[in-house]
Structure 1
Amino acid sequence: MATKYVYSFSGGKGEGNGKMKAELGGKGANLAEMCNIGLPVPAGFTIGTEVCNYYYANDRKYPPELKAQVEAALKEVEKVMGGEFGSKTNPLLFSCRSGARESMPGMMDTVLNIGMNDETVISLAKKSGDERFAWDSYRRFIQMYGDVVMGLKPQTKTDPDHFEELLEHKREKAGVKFDNELTAEQLKELVAEYKAVIKKHTGSEFPTDPMEQVWGCIGAVFSSWMNDRAIVYRRMYNIPHEWGTAVNVQAMVFGNLGDGCATGVGLTRDCAVGTPGFCGDYLINAQGEDVVAGIRTPLRIEETLGKDMPKAHAELDEIGKKLEKHFKEVQDVEFTIQEGRVWMLQTRNAKRTGFAAVRIAVDLVNEGLITEKEALQKRRIPADDLNQLLQPIFDTEAKKKATKENRAIAKGINAGPGAATGQIVFHASDAEALYNKDNNVQLILVRKETSPEDLRGMKVAKGILTAFGGASSHAALVSRQMGKVCIVGCGSLVVDYDKGTISSGGTTLKEGDWISIDGFTGEVFSGKVETKPSEIVQVLVQKTMKPEESETYTRYAQLMGWVDKYRKLKVRANAEQDEAHLADAFGCEGVGLCRTEHMFFSKIQEFREMIVSETKEQREKALAKLLPFQRADFTTLFKALGSRPVTIRLLDPPLHEFLSEHHLHDDDGLADRLSKAVGISKETVERRVEELKETNPMLGFRGCRLGIVFAEITAMQARAIFEAAADLKKQGVDVHPEVMVPLVGFKTELDHQTKIIRDTAEKVFAEKGVKVDYQVGTMIEIPRAALTAGEIAKTAEFFSFGTNDLTQTTLGMSRDDYGSFIPLYRENDVIGDDPFQKIDQTGVGRLMEIACKDGRATREKLKLGICGEHGGEPSSVMFCHKLGLDYVSCSPFRIPIAKLAAAQQALES
Structure 2
Amino acid sequence: MKGAAVQQNDPDITLITPVAPVATSTHGGRAKCLQRLVRLDLPVPKTVALSFDAVHRIAAGETLDTQDLLKPFGPSALVCVRPSSEDPDWGGPGAVLNIGMNDALYVELCDQLGQDAASAMYLRFVQAYAIHVARLDPDMFDDVPSDGPEGLSEALRAYEDETEESFPQDPAVQLAEVLRSMARAWEGTTARLLRQAKGAPADAGLGLVVQEMALGMGLGECGSGVIQLVNSKTGEPQITGRYLSQSQGRDALSKGAGAMFLGRDERGPSLQELEPEAYDALIDHTRLMRVRLREEMQAEFTIENGHVHLLDGVRVARSARAAVRIAISLAEDGIIPKEEALTRIEPRAINELLHRQVDPEAERDRLVQGIAASPGAATGRIVFSAAEAQASAARGEACILVRRETSPEDIRGMHAAVGVLTERGGITSHAAVIGRGMGLPCVVGASALTFNLRRSVLRAPDGREFRAGDIITIDGTNGEVLVGEPEMLEATQDDAFLTLMGWADEHRDIGVRANADTPADAKTARNFGAQGIGLCRTEHMFFEADRLTVMREMIFADGVGDRRAALDRLLPMQREDFAELFRIMQGQPVCIRLFDPPLHEFLPSDRAGHRELAEALDLPLSDVTRRVEDLSEYNPMLGMRGVRLGITMPEIYEMQARAIFEATIEASRDGDPVVPEIMIPLVSAKREVELVKTRVDAIAAAVRNETGVTFAYRLGVMVETPRAALRAAEIAPHCAFLSFGTNDLTQMTYGLSRDDAGRFMSTYVQQGVYPEDPFHVLDVDGVGELLSIGAARGRGAHPGLTLSICGEHGGNPESIAFCRAEGFSYVSCSPFRVPVARLAAAQLAVRDKMQFPVAK
**TM class by smaller structure:** 0.7 to 0.9
Task: Report the residue type matching 2:611 in the other structure.
Answer: D
State the distance in 2 between where 1:813 and 1:221 align. 45
State the distance in 2 between where 1:729 and 1:433 align. 51
How far is 1:234 from its partner? 4.7
How far is 1:631 from its partner? 1.2
**Residues 861 and 788 (structure 1), Cα distance of their counterparts in 2 relative to 1, 3 Å cut:** same
Moved more, 354-363 or 527-536: 527-536
2:206 aligns with: 245
1:387 aligns with: 351
Task: Report the residue type matching 1:364 in the other structure.
Answer: L
Task: Report the residue type matching 1:287 in the other structure.
Answer: Q
Matched residue SS, 2:309: strand
Could you tell me whether the CA contact under 8 Å between 1:8 and 1:14 is conserved in 2?
Answer: no
Instruction: Tell whether 2:633 aligns with 1:633.
Output: no
How far is 1:224 from its partner? 4.3
1:781 aligns with: 720
Give CA-to-partner distance per residue, 1:418-454, whole Å, 9 cap, x none.
Answer: 77699964xxxx526466899999689xxxxxxxxxx
TM-score, normalization by structure 1:
0.73
State the distance in 2 between where 1:191 and 1:822 align. 52
Moved more, 856-865 or 626-635: 856-865
Could you tell me whether the CA contact under 8 Å between 1:5 and 1:51 is conserved in 2?
Answer: no
How far is 1:661 from its partner? 2.3
How far is 1:731 from its partner? 5.1
What is the CA RMSD across the aligned residues, in angstroms?
A: 3.9
Instruction: Tell whether 2:331 aligns with 1:373.
Output: no
Task: Report the residue type matching 1:82 in the other structure.
Answer: G
Could you tell me whether the CA contact under 8 Å between 2:362 and 2:486 is conserved in 1?
Answer: no
Could you tell me whether the CA contact under 8 Å between 2:223 and 2:244 is conserved in 1?
Answer: yes
Task: Report the residue type matching 1:169 in the other structure.
Answer: D
1:606 aligns with: 550
Moved more, 789-798 or 570-579: 789-798
How far is 1:841 from its partner? 3.9
Task: Report the residue type matching 2:287 in the other structure.
Answer: K
2:84 aligns with: 99
State the distance in 2 between where 1:766 and 1:562 align. 47
Of 313, 319, 334, 2:300 maps to 334
Task: Report the residue type matching 1:780 in the other structure.
Answer: V
Could you tell me whether the CA contact under 8 Å between 1:567 and 1:899 is conserved in 2?
Answer: yes
Instruction: For 1:253-402, list aligned pairs within 5 A.
Output: 253-257=214-218, 260-291=221-252, 294=255, 296=257, 298-303=259-264, 304-377=270-343, 379=344, 381-391=345-355
Could you tell me whether the CA contact under 8 Å between 1:729 and 1:772 is conserved in 2?
Answer: no
Instruction: Tell whether 2:501 aligns with 1:560.
Output: yes
Could you tell me whether the CA contact under 8 Å between 2:98 and 2:121 is conserved in 1?
Answer: no
Moved more, 270-279 or 182-191: 270-279
1:449 aligns with: none
Instruction: For 1:451-530, list aligned pairs within 5 A.
Output: none
**Residues 611 and 231 (structure 1), Cα distance of their counterparts in 2 relative to 1, 3 Å cut:** farther
Same amino acid, percent of matched pairs? 35
**Residues 784 and 390 (structure 1), Cα distance of their counterparts in 2 relative to 1, 3 Å cut:** same
Instruction: For 1:173-252, list aligned pairs within 5 A.
Output: 179=146, 182-197=147-162, 210-225=171-186, 234=195, 238-252=199-213
1:877 aligns with: 816
1:82 aligns with: 74
How far is 1:237 from its partner? 5.1
**Residues 532 and 226 (structure 1), Cα distance of their counterparts in 2 relative to 1, 3 Å cut:** closer
Of 339, 357, 366, 1:431 maps to 366
How far is 1:605 from its partner? 0.8
Task: Report the residue type matching 1:803 in the other structure.
Answer: T
Matched residue SS, 1:889: strand
Could you tell me whether the CA contact under 8 Å between 1:271 and 1:351 is conserved in 2?
Answer: yes
Instruction: For 1:544-693, list aligned pairs within 5 A.
Output: 552=494, 554-575=495-516, 576-602=518-544, 603-662=547-606, 664-666=607-609, 668-676=611-619, 682-693=621-632
State the distance in 1 between where 2:214 and 2:317 align. 26
Could you tell me whether the CA contact under 8 Å between 2:661 and 2:700 is conserved in 1?
Answer: yes
TM-score, normalization by structure 2:
0.77
Moved more, 854-863 or 33-42: 854-863
Matched residue SS, 2:263: helix
How far is 1:628 from its partner? 1.6
1:540 aligns with: none
State the distance in 1 between where 2:30 and 2:718 align. 48
State the distance in 2 between where 1:532 and 1:351 align. 16
How far is 1:591 from its partner? 0.5
Matched residue SS, 1:661: coil
Q: How many residues align?
A: 738
Instruction: Tell whether 2:688 aligns with 1:749.
Output: yes
State the distance in 2 between where 1:123 and 1:250 align. 23
**Residues 651 and 329 (structure 1), Cα distance of their counterparts in 2 relative to 1, 3 Å cut:** same
Moved more, 600-609 or 29-38: 29-38
How far is 1:593 from its partner? 1.2
* Runs of 5+ unmatched residues, structure 2: 265-269, 381-418, 420-440, 442-469, 475-482, 849-856
Instruction: Tell whether 2:162 aligns with 1:169.
Output: no
Instruction: Tell whether 2:686 aligns with 1:701.
Output: no
State the distance in 1 between where 2:328 and 2:377 align. 36
1:27 aligns with: 30
2:463 aligns with: none
How far is 1:275 from its partner? 2.2
How far is 1:843 from its partner? 4.1
State the distance in 1 between where 2:38 and 2:835 align. 40
Give CA-to-partner distance per residue, 1:320-361, whole Å, 9 cap, x none.
Answer: 111111022211222222333322222233221232223223
Could you tell me whether the CA contact under 8 Å between 1:262 and 1:338 is conserved in 2?
Answer: yes
1:148 aligns with: 132
**Residues 169 and 813 (structure 1), Cα distance of their counterparts in 2 relative to 1, 3 Å cut:** farther
Give CA-to-partner distance per residue, 1:761-802, whole Å, 9 cap, x none.
Answer: 233233332332222222233434334444433333222232
How far is 1:33 from its partner? 1.7
How far is 1:584 from its partner? 2.0
2:106 aligns with: 122
Task: Report the residue type matching 2:600 in the other structure.
Answer: H
Give CA-to-partner distance per residue, 1:856-902, whole Å, 9 cap, x none.
Answer: 33333322222222333444434433333222222323322222222
Matched residue SS, 1:706: helix
**Residues 682 and 113 (structure 1), Cα distance of their counterparts in 2 relative to 1, 3 Å cut:** closer
State the distance in 1 between where 2:127 and 2:379 align. 33
Matched residue SS, 2:299: strand
**Residues 369 and 437 (structure 1), Cα distance of their counterparts in 2 relative to 1, 3 Å cut:** closer
**Residues 232 and 661 (structure 1), Cα distance of their counterparts in 2 relative to 1, 3 Å cut:** same
Moved more, 362-371 or 121-130: 121-130
2:740 aligns with: 801
Give CA-to-partner distance per residue, 1:12-39, whole Å, 9 cap, x none.
Answer: 435135xx32222211211122222222
1:43 aligns with: 46
Task: Report the residue type matching 2:536 in the other structure.
Answer: C
How far is 1:808 from its partner? 2.9
State the distance in 1 between where 2:539 and 2:509 align. 32
* Runs of 5+ unmatched residues, structure 1: 84-89, 153-161, 172-178, 393-417, 445-461, 463-483, 485-511, 517-525, 537-551
How far is 1:318 from its partner? 1.0
Of 95, 99, 109, 1:111 maps to 95
**Residues 858 and 223 (structure 1), Cα distance of their counterparts in 2 relative to 1, 3 Å cut:** farther
